[in-house]
Amino acid sequence: MRKLMNMKASDIDFYNLGFNFIETKTMFVSDFKDGKWSEGKLVPFGPFEISPGACILNYGQGIFEGMKALRAKTGEIVLFRPHENGKRLNDSADRMLLPNYDVDKFVDNVKQVVKANKDYVPPYDSGGALYIRPILIGNGPILGVAPANEHKLIIFTVPVGPYFPEGFKAIDLEISKKYTRAAPGGSGYAKTCCNYAPTMKPAKETKAKGFAQIIYLDAAHMEYIDEVGTANFFAIINGKLATPKAVGTILPGITRRSVLEIAEKKLGMEVEERDISYKELFEDSCTEAFCTGTAAIITPIGSVVLEDQKKVWNNGEPGELTKKLYDLLTGIQRLEIKDEFGWIVKVE
């Protein structure tokens, strides 16, 4: 394991990457002290000292982002809508009483880290990416439940393949009536680590039953779909593309927003952000389903199970519209298709 973590870029088999931690060369670090951020700098990737009294260790005052640097068809290294990640970082920071970070500076720093680790960006034809993980944590010590007075922004990178080992193959999901992920008034819309640790046990249990992930229902009624463990949910119902409304309990995904725009503007589809009852999935009017995320990209859903009910779409194969949306999204992301939306930011 240690060997894998320390691999030189030249030793990595970029064509067989999973979604696993691998060290890269350089990370960015900035410290927030006395009410302001330090200029920040690139440093060798590695551990840093932290007080056992740190707010992040005791009370979980921490947030993160997930982005990808891709090798485009043109050979350039590109980012997908990085300013949106910068804005969402600040929305999450507001919820967790962490300091905001200037969005343009954030994007500049992301570019610097990617450039410094460019040997780790997987080749265009591998389908892989350099995953970018910004974390913002309260590292100052505190005893009462209150925000830290010192914070740290770190941006590191990891070369990755597909998040779901199935790749662009349909996954099987379980709808849970046992667990929920977020409740109204909680922190579901923020990308805080506090939302992820409690999903590990449900994910472990469902994987042991052969499912890739859980579909969480809304905590108030246990009826409407919130999202998949680490991705947003979509279904084609009565020919319209429907996704749960981003009302505070789900993460407002950047892929989610992009898929809505692509479906409307490039495929002329009617799109709906609304409450979707899990019961609708079992009806004939629901003809395809998939989930979206930076890591998941667009992952088709082959079947869902709730207790003794099961729905299988297209014999477990990706649906036609799901495939079209996947080709359009990944085509724009890798500059195979003209970026009419102005979403791509070039690193070099």
Position of minimal CB gap to ligand COI: 66
Concatenating the DSSP letter of every residue in 10-75 gives GG--GGG--S-----SEEEEEEEETTEE---EEEES------TTBHHHHH--EEE--EEEEE-TTS
Q: Pick from ligand COI, ligand PLP, none: which does 157 bind, CB < 5 to 8 A by kind?
A: none
Q: Pick from ligand COI, ligand PLP, none: which does 227 bind, CB < 5 to 8 A by kind?
A: ligand PLP
What residues from 19 to 78 belong to the interface with ligand COI (CB under 6 A)? 66
Query: What residue has token string 């039953």?
Result: 209
Measured CA to CA in angstroms, residue 317 lies from 244, 288, 301, 320, 347 at distances of 23, 10, 8, 9, 36
On whether the CB atoms of residues 214 and 201 are closer than 8 A, the answer is no
Please pick, from the candidates 71, 256, 311, 334, the single residue that binds ligand PLP as defined by CB under 6 A: 256
Q: Which amino acid is at 310?
A: K
**H helix intervals, the chain:** 2-5, 55-59, 82-95, 103-116, 200-208, 254-265, 278-281, 320-333
On whether the CB atoms of residues 42 and 25 are closer than 8 A, the answer is no
Known catalytic residue: 338? no
Q: Which residue stretch of 107-115, 202-210, 291-299, 322-330 sits at the interface with ligand PLP (rule: CB under 6 A)?
A: 291-299
Q: Pick from ligand PLP, ligand COI, none: which does 213 bind, CB < 5 to 8 A by kind?
A: none
* Residue number, 117 or 232, with CB nearest to ligand PLP: 232
On whether the CB atoms of residues 62 and 193 are closer than 8 A, the answer is yes
What residues from 79 to 118 belong to the interface with ligand COI (CB under 6 A)? none
Q: Pick from ligand PLP, ligand COI, none: which does 254 bind, CB < 5 to 8 A by kind?
A: ligand PLP
218 forms part of the interface with ligand PLP (CB under 6 A): no
Q: How far is the CB of 195 from ligand COI (least distance, A)?
A: 9
CA distance 101 to 93: 9
Query: What residue has token string 């009462």?
Result: 144
Q: Pick from ligand PLP, ligand COI, none: which does 232 bind, CB < 5 to 8 A by kind?
A: ligand PLP
* Residue number, 21 or 341, with CB nearest to ligand COI: 21
What residues from 60 to 99 belong to the interface with ligand PLP (CB under 6 A)? 66
What residues from 205 to 234 belong to the interface with ligand COI (CB under 6 A)? 230
Query: CB count, 10 Å around CB of 31?
Result: 16
255 forms part of the interface with ligand PLP (CB under 6 A): yes
* Active-site residue (options: 68, 118, 152, 191): 191
CB contact set of 5 (below 8 Å; sequence gap of 6+): 21, 22, 23
293 forms part of the interface with ligand COI (CB under 6 A): yes
* Residue number, 50 or 246, with CB nearest to ligand PLP: 246
Query: What residue has token string 């629901």?
Result: 286
* Residue number, 237 or 291, with CB nearest to ligand COI: 291
193 forms part of the interface with ligand COI (CB under 6 A): no
Residues at the site binding ligand PLP, with contacts judged by CB under 6 A: 66, 227, 230-232, 251, 253-256, 292-294
Which residues are designated catalytic? 191
Residues at the site binding ligand COI, with contacts judged by CB under 6 A: 66, 230, 293-295
